[in-house]
Chain A
Amino acid sequence: MVKQKTNQPTSNTLTLKSRWLTIIVTLLILTFFAYLFAGITSLFSYSDEIVFGNVALIKINGIITTQEDEFSLDDQATSDEIIKLIKKAEDNPEVKAILFEINSPGGSAVASKEIADEITRVSQNANKTTIAVIREIGTSGAYWIASSTDLIIASPLSITGSIGVISSYLEFNKLFDKYGINYRRLVAGKYKDIGSPFRNLTEDEQKILQAQLDSVHDYFIKEIAKNRNMSVDDVKKVADGLFYLGEEAQKLGLVDILGDKETAKELLKESLNLEDIQIVEYKKPKGFIDALFESFSRQSFSVGEGIGSSLVNTENKKSLIST
């Protein structure tokens, strides 16, 4: 076969053009789908507990409860969620220590005990150092939780202690009398409606409730004594329900060191012989709607950031927005 060469465009050069056009179109389509699929994947993998670091940070903010009250606007620390986070940190071999940042006035005795027990278990079985850093407040049940860690750090101005038990409620019987409303008591069992807000407590009932509170208080004191390696008598001296500022609490043996999160980092660096401390927060994973909303928010932020930077960085370096 004789090879012929001409200067005119041949079918080969046209094929070459259409070939590269096909390649470019295919790559553009693939790029579009790559971004689309990557977006879908990130929505499903969007979870804040995916973290990388050697110290897990778990925040205990607000009232400590066993179950979340979905209608409450206040911060809540539910024992179920906190325990899940502790277990996650325990399962991660990269995590050498767990830092509990406490900012809570306490809450349910049962929930506090559940969290405290889990921390004790992790400290003993999983060989992970646990530290509590009390921020503004760490009283009552929150202090119970803090006491179960290996070390308590608090600011000199932190409010802590308040080792006591409370069970109070409003009585409406006088208000009912005012409006002519009667409480018709129908019970099977003498104490079935003990603590009902619609009538006064009898002396007998008050004694029973007080005895129960005292039992819980005794249990609380014993747990603090055990956790803090103190005698029960020493704890009893400070377990009158009074709160203490950090400095005073340290003198009373309720707090180990005065400081903050940075103090905890330095201590961990030394005790665990780590070159670098990377604290990463473990928190409740977001739901699909939350993740979607946050994804849109991030995109909106990027768009806004782009517009903002175009306004600030004009060609002649004249800024439309100045500080």
Chain B
Amino acid sequence: MNKYIDALITPQMTKTFLLPATIWKRAGAFIIDIALLDIIVFSPFKANLTSLIAGADTYQKAFQILASSQETLSAVMMASFFMAILAIAYFTLLEWKLGQTVGKIMFNLFLVQIPAKPDEKPSKPGFFQVLISNLSLVPFFPFIFLWPVELISILFTNHRFMERVARIQLVETKIVDYYQSDA
């Protein structure tokens, strides 16, 4: 039977599937989140540090000079620590409350808790689960060793290593329309 005629006589059905987020959508969401963090969280640090350096017109120059001096290295470390804390707070709070960040909303991605049993429905992740999954954002030893691990894990399994540890997964929804025929 012609499927268009079939559609007229049978109700349209949809099924929502949860699929692991593709690497491109992950990357896109992350870029949007970092851009937002850059404007809201990092810009006060950049402005403050740049204003301290006479002659340094860019943040990169200022950061380079600050990091090269023993006296000010601790200030750079402190700024990096605070920026990392705030970035982790951004990801953790939003992912805990909504299961999404702004970037993830744009790409229709969200985090779910991996069900213990196959027949259970995925649920929203807990606070500590998202916190653990975001520890890889800490730019200090020993967490920096997680960066290559995370990259390899995403490239080969489409699942971040720390998400795997926290038993959560970033997913996207796939809605499939179909027509049920009685025949």
- B residues 134-156 with Cβ under 8 Å of A? none
| A19 CA / B102 CA spacing, docked (Å) | 10
Contact in complex: B55, A22 (CB < 8 Å): no
Contact in complex: A34, B13 (CB < 8 Å): no
Contact in complex: A41, B94 (CB < 8 Å): no
| A90 CA / B124 CA spacing, docked (Å) | 58
CB distance from A15 to the nearest CB of B (A): 9
Contact in complex: B49, A44 (CB < 8 Å): no
Cβ-neighbour of B40 out of A30, A46, A49 (below 8 A): A30
* Interface status of A197 (Cβ within 8 A of chain B): no
* Interface status of A208 (Cβ within 8 A of chain B): no
Contact in complex: A30, B72 (CB < 8 Å): no
CB distance from A47 to the nearest CB of B (A): 6
Contact in complex: B94, A26 (CB < 8 Å): yes
Segment at the A interface, from B21-29, B61-69, B125-133, B159-167: B61-69
Given contacts A39-B48, A45-B72, contact A23 B15 (CB under 8 A): no
Contact in complex: B65, A31 (CB < 8 Å): no
Q: Nearest residue in A to B99 (C-beta to C-beta)?
A: A19
Contact in complex: B53, A46 (CB < 8 Å): no
* Interface status of B182 (Cβ within 8 A of chain A): no
A residues less than 8 Å from B90 (CB atoms): 26-27, 30
Contact in complex: A2, B11 (CB < 8 Å): yes
Cβ-neighbour of B55 out of A39, A40, A52 (below 8 A): A52
CB distance from A53 to the nearest CB of B (A): 5
Question: Chain B binding site: helix, strand, loop or mixed by DSSP?
Answer: helix
Q: Nearest residue in B to A19 (C-beta to C-beta)?
A: B98
Cβ-neighbour of A38 out of B15, B79, B89 (below 8 A): B79
* Interface status of B97 (Cβ within 8 A of chain A): yes
A residues less than 8 Å from B78 (CB atoms): 40-41, 44-45
Given contacts A44-B74, A52-B65, contact A34 B86 (CB under 8 A): yes
Given contacts A19-B98, A41-B48, contact A51 B41 (CB under 8 A): no
CB distance from A1 to the nearest CB of B (A): 6
Query: Interface size class for chain B?
Result: 35 or more
Question: Chain A binding site: helix, strand, loop or mixed by DSSP?
Answer: helix
CB distance from A36 to the nearest CB of B (A): 9
Contact in complex: A23, B55 (CB < 8 Å): no
* Interface status of B115 (Cβ within 8 A of chain A): no
Contact in complex: A3, B72 (CB < 8 Å): no
Contact in complex: B79, A23 (CB < 8 Å): no
Cβ-neighbour of A23 out of B49, B51, B102 (below 8 A): B102
Q: Nearest residue in A to B14 (C-beta to C-beta)?
A: A3
| A278 CA / B61 CA spacing, docked (Å) | 14
CB distance from A38 to the nearest CB of B (A): 4
Contact in complex: A50, B52 (CB < 8 Å): yes
Given contacts A23-B94, A50-B69, contact A2 B13 (CB under 8 A): yes
* Interface status of A33 (Cβ within 8 A of chain B): yes
Cβ-neighbour of B72 out of A2, A27, A47, A52 (below 8 A): A47
* Interface status of B56 (Cβ within 8 A of chain A): yes
- B residues 99-116 with Cβ under 8 Å of A? 100, 102, 105
A residues less than 8 Å from B105 (CB atoms): 19
* Interface status of B17 (Cβ within 8 A of chain A): no
* Interface status of B34 (Cβ within 8 A of chain A): no
Q: Mark B30-70, 1 if CB is under 8 A from A, else 0.
A: 00000010001111110111011111100001100110110
* Interface status of A287 (Cβ within 8 A of chain B): no
A residues less than 8 Å from B168 (CB atoms): none
Contact in complex: A49, B71 (CB < 8 Å): yes
| A223 CA / B102 CA spacing, docked (Å) | 70
B residues less than 8 Å from A3 (CB atoms): 12, 14
A residues less than 8 Å from B18 (CB atoms): none
Contact in complex: A52, B61 (CB < 8 Å): yes
Q: Mark A1-39, 1 if CB is under 8 A from B, else 0.
A: 111000000000000000100110011001101110111
| A44 CA / B74 CA spacing, docked (Å) | 8
| A281 CA / B53 CA spacing, docked (Å) | 11
| A27 CA / B37 CA spacing, docked (Å) | 9
B residues less than 8 Å from A38 (CB atoms): 44-45, 47-48, 79, 82
**17 A/B residue pairs, CB under 8 Å, sorted by A:** A19-B98, A26-B90, A30-B86, A34-B42, A37-B82, A41-B79, A42-B48, A44-B78, A45-B79, A46-B52, A49-B69, A50-B69, A51-B65, A52-B53, A278-B55, A281-B54, A285-B71
Known pairs A19-B98, A38-B47 / 7 extra A-B pairs, C-beta < 8 Å: A26-B97, A30-B89, A33-B89, A38-B82, A47-B52, A47-B72, A53-B55
Task: List the 8 shortest-distance A-B pairs measured between CB atoms, nearest first.
Answer: A45-B75, A38-B44, A37-B82, A52-B55, A42-B48, A52-B56, A41-B79, A34-B41
